[in-house]
Amino acid sequence: MTTTRSFALALICTLPLTVTAYEWQALPETAPAPTDNPTTPDKIALGKALFFDPRFSSTGTVSCFSCHNVMEGGDDHRPTSIGVHGQVGGRNAPTVWNAAFHVAQFWDARAPSLEEQSKGPPVNPIEMGMPNLDATLKRIRDIPGYRPLFAAAFQGEDTVTMDNAAKAIAAYERTLITPDTPYDRYVKGDRQALSAEQIKGMETVAAIGCTSCHAGPAFNGATLATGPGLLMKFPVNAKSEYVAKYALTKDRGRYEVTKQDADAQLWRVPTLRNLVYTAPYFHNGAVKTLDEAVRVMASTQLDKKLTEPDVKAVVAFLEALSGNFPEQTMPRLPATPGTLLE
């Protein structure tokens, strides 16, 4: 009996001040990879070079890195991105940090994997503006220095293929993860890792229901294999004042891909990690600050008006989900032959 009581007392002393029913999860230290594309150092090195290389855009000026700035929040801090010839796109660039933990890619989940996602922007006329993937591959082939990098990363006779390029980029992106934030350390048992306000924000997030969509270690609804569901409706509460204020229903989300009414306003759930670094917010980048984004979500999704101290606490908690970016070396890109860009 004595032993049991001591154990119970110890539990009381070491657990957080209040315990919600929600099961908080830390981000894994490595990202899962598909069986046909295991992550290897050679693939990462090649993928990193391709990710940073602007020579695969029609103008030679836009790379993956242009809109997914991994020196900062993995996006471009613009409402919507700018591609070749100054053209402006229609949606806010999602962060590439922790994209490896998404169940699907793009705001409308139209790509099932990082590999497939990487084939989109090069041939998007607004983004990188190449006429087709063959032309993109030719650009890669025209740089002799890429050949040994592909040969080291992949098996086979002619390794310089678009599928291999996509696999390499995905392998690099699987290294772009940010475990071990203050939140993760807290969940793993370091009770000093969060401030009292951050703990209050954490409780609020679970109590009001944010976690019914923003679940799992990346707070993005679904983890790679399991989860509560792929796409969620936004905005749910059509009467929210914010719907008109920020034009939240102008873009119909998944509907724009499928043209099925049932898909209207369905979106992939974005991660809550590193939000401090990724202003402005939402698919249209219409909301400039994190506190306003919290107010918008409470109203549009949960039909709730938070008190300002609650907003502040939730923002403090979101800050605890940010940072700890892995240090990166810059790749050396192979030399440009003289006839690459016509």
Catalytic residue numbers read 127
Nearer to a second copy, 55 or 91 (CB): 55
Nearer to a second copy, 76 or 115 (CB): 76
Query: Which element (helix H / strand E) includes 5?
Result: helix 2-14
Shortest separation between residue 190's beta carbon and a second copy, angstroms: 23
**Residue 299 burial (C-beta neighbours within 10 Å; 0-12, 13-18, 19+):** buried
- Output DSSP code: residue 44: H
Q: Does 85 bind a second copy (CB under 8 A)?
A: yes
Q: Does 290 bind a second copy (CB under 8 A)?
A: yes
Q: Does 259 bind a second copy (CB under 8 A)?
A: no
The residues, any chain, with a CB within 8 Å of residue 80's CB and separated by 6 or more, are 88, 89, 90, 91, 92, 93, 284, 285
Q: Does 338 bind a second copy (CB under 8 A)?
A: yes
Nearer to a second copy, 40 or 336 (CB): 336
**Count of chain residues binding a second copy (CB under 8 A):** 45
- CB atoms closer than 10 angstroms to residue 93: 25
Q: Does 245 bind a second copy (CB under 8 A)?
A: no
Q: Which stretch binds a second copy (CB under 8 A): 95-103, 150-158, 235-243, 332-340?
A: 332-340
Query: What amino acid occupies position 206?
Result: A
Q: In which region does residue 68 sit, left (phi positive, over 0), alpha (psi from -120 to 50) or beta (all else)?
A: beta
**Could you say which of 38, 144, 229, 337 contacts a second copy (CB under 8 A)?**
337
Shortest separation between residue 332's beta carbon and a second copy, angstroms: 6
Bridge-partner residues for 281, per DSSP? 287
Nearer to a second copy, 209 or 323 (CB): 323
Structural tokens at position 164: 């291999």
Q: Residue 115 to residues 14, 146, 168: CA-CA distances in angstroms?
A: 43, 19, 8
How far apart (Å, rounded) are the C-alpha atoms in residues 160 and 162?
7
Q: Does 141 bind a second copy (CB under 8 A)?
A: no
Query: What amino acid occupies position 38?
Result: P
The residues, any chain, with a CB within 8 Å of residue 162's CB and separated by 6 or more, are 119, 133, 136, 137
Shortest separation between residue 150's beta carbon and a second copy, angstroms: 18
DSSP 175-212: T------HHHHHHTT-TTSS-HHHHHHHHHHHHHTGGG
Q: Does 230 bind a second copy (CB under 8 A)?
A: no
**Could you say which of 288, 303, 305, 309 contacts a second copy (CB under 8 A)?**
288
Q: Which stretch binds a second copy (CB under 8 A): 30-38, 218-226, 245-253, 283-291?
A: 283-291
Shortest separation between residue 278's beta carbon and a second copy, angstroms: 8
DSSP 259-328: --GGGTTEEEPPP-TTGGGS-SBSTT--B-SHHHHHHHHHHHHH-----HHHHHHHHHHHHTT---PPP-
Nearer to a second copy, 108 or 242 (CB): 242
Q: Between residue 22 and residue 81, which ones bind a second copy under the rule CB under 8 A?
A: 52-55, 59-61, 66, 69-73, 76-79
Q: Which stretch binds a second copy (CB under 8 A): 209-217, 248-256, 276-284, 303-311?
A: 276-284
Structural tokens at position 66: 């242009």
Which residues contribute to the site for a second copy (CB under 8 A)? Answer: 52-55, 59-61, 66, 69-73, 76-79, 82, 84-87, 276-277, 279-280, 288-290, 292, 325, 327-333, 335-341
